[in-house]
Structure 1
Amino acid sequence: MARILCTHCNFALNTCVCSAIETITNKVKVIILQHPSEEKIAKNTAKLLDLSLTDCEIIKGENSADFSMLNSLPKESTVLLYPNENATCLDEPSSTKHKHITHLIVIDGTWKKAYKILQLTPALNQFRTVSFNKLPKNRYTIRKAPRADSLSTLEAVAHSLSLIEHLNPEPLFTLLEELINKQTQHMPEHVKARYLN
């Protein structure tokens, strides 16, 4: 039997997060390149960003053909959030380059899938990469990541926008907390403890 979904947030009715959604006006357009396998994951946080931010677009795909719209973005003011050796750290106090960012591209997928998208989408190479010198505390406790420097898509975008345009990220973290609460509400206590500690 198919689950009944909320018509607004698109989560199952018993895990609806609508009560915690607060609209946030962001100046920097957020473009999320989402690996198709992420779309159906209940704990995926990209759609929380889409529900909250006034300027956010999710594009599903794996390669250049899927992400052809990248070619229409302004090269000088578009950045890709990806930690490589050439990345500019957004949290470097001396960095003023991020003041001219208009578009932020984020890859939504596991590290392996994100790397694959990067390899199959040469258009991404035309943009500057940005990253963080110091990661904020990971609040996304219900999805285990293999790397210590892992943040959920929501956390990475929230932190980026707070550094680029001084946007208050707290409403996004409140929504993330609501997702965690709803996704763990029916777990046995011993299972919940494993996720939340």
Structure 2
Amino acid sequence: MSRLLCTHCKFSLTTCLCEDISQLKNSIKVIILQHPSEIKVTKNTARLLSLSLTQCEIKVGESESDFTSILDLPIQTTALLYPDKTALLLDDSTTNTSQFSKTLTHLIVLDGTWKKAYKIMQMTPSLNAFQKVSFKEIPKNRYRIRKAPRLDSLSTLEAVAHSLALIESIDPQPLYTMLESLNKKQTQFMPEHVKARYQPI
């Protein structure tokens, strides 16, 4: 039997987050390339970004043929959020990084596990045309309900929130508050000994 879903946020009625969603006005358009395996993941945060940010779009696929629209993006003012040795570090105050950040109009973000994101990169060579950006220091992971294999893993929501804070000086707290609500509502019916595994350290 399928669960009843909220028609707006698409979470189950018992974990509906509509009352927790705040609208944030961002100037840089966030384009999320979402791996198909993430669509039905109940803990996926990309959907929350699309409901919270005024400039956000989700495109689903895993290869070049699925993301042909990125070919129309301005190469000089579009960045790809992806850890790489060639990436400019958004939290580095050097002149090159600062000047580049001020010119950005689009930010591409890959939504999926590390393995799936890597697959998207390999199967979408046109992504290499864009300047990669990343972080020198990874903020503390607030997304406790979905375990990741790497200590420096961030949810899509956290990665975008931190990026916009660095690039546009947007206050990311409303996004983090929404994420904390997701943490609590996804664990509310767990036995106490199980819920304890997902509490802040």
CA distance in 1, matches of 2:198, 2:58: 28
Aligned-pair CA distance for 1:19: 0.7
Equivalent residue number for residue 144 of structure 2: 141
Higher helix residue share: 2
Within the candidate set 124, 136, 141, 1:121 is matched to 124
| CA RMSD of superposed structures (Å) | 0.7
Consecutive unaligned residues of structure 2, counting only runs of 5 or more, are none
- Report the secondary structure of 2:7's partner residue: coil
Q: Aligned partners of 1:104, 1:184: CA distance in 2, in Å?
A: 32
**Is 1:83 paired with 2:83?**
yes
Q: Identity percentage over the alignment?
A: 63
Question: 1 CA distance for matches of 2:40 and 2:106?
Answer: 26
Partners in 1 of 2:178 and 2:198 — Cα distance? 18
Q: 1:184 pairs with 182, 187, 201, which one?
A: 187
How far is the alpha carbon of 1:4 from its aligned partner? Answer: 1.2
What is the CA-CA distance between 1:194 and the residue it aligns to?
1.2
The residue aligned with 1:66 is 66
**CA–CA distance in 1 between the matches of 2:2 and 2:89?**
45
| 2:190 match: secondary structure | coil
Matches within 5 A, 1:87-166: 87-94=87-94, 95-96=97-98, 97-166=100-169
Instruction: Supply the distance in 1 between the matched residues of 2:150 and 2:3 (Cα, whole angstroms).
Output: 33
* Runs of 4+ displaced beyond 2 Å: none
CA distance in 2, matches of 1:175, 1:84: 29
> C-alpha deviations, 1:158-192, integer Å up to 9, x for none?
00000001011000001101111110000011111
What 5-or-longer segments of structure 1 have no aligned partner?
none
TM-score by length of 2: 0.96
For residue 170 of structure 2, what is the aligned residue in structure 1?
A: 167
Q: Distance in 2 between matches of 1:80 and 1:108?
A: 12
Measured against aligned partners, the alpha-carbon deviations of 1:99-141 in whole angstroms (never above 9, x if no partner) come to 1111000000011110010000011010000000001111001
Instruction: Determine the structure 1 residue equivalent to 2:11.
Output: 11
State the number of aligned residues. 197
Alignment correspondent of 2:42? 42
- Give the SS at the match of 1:65: helix
In the aligned structure 1, how far is the partner of 2:103 from the partner of 2:112? Answer: 27
Q: Report the 3-state secondary structure (helix = DSSP H, G, I; strand = E; otherwise coil) of the residue aligned with 1:154.
A: helix
Q: Tell me by how many angstroms 1:2 deviates.
A: 2.1
CA distance in structure 1 between the partners assigned to 2:32 and 2:69 by the alignment: 12
Shift, 1:195, TM fit: 2.0
Counterpart CA distance in 2 for 1:115 and 1:7 is 32
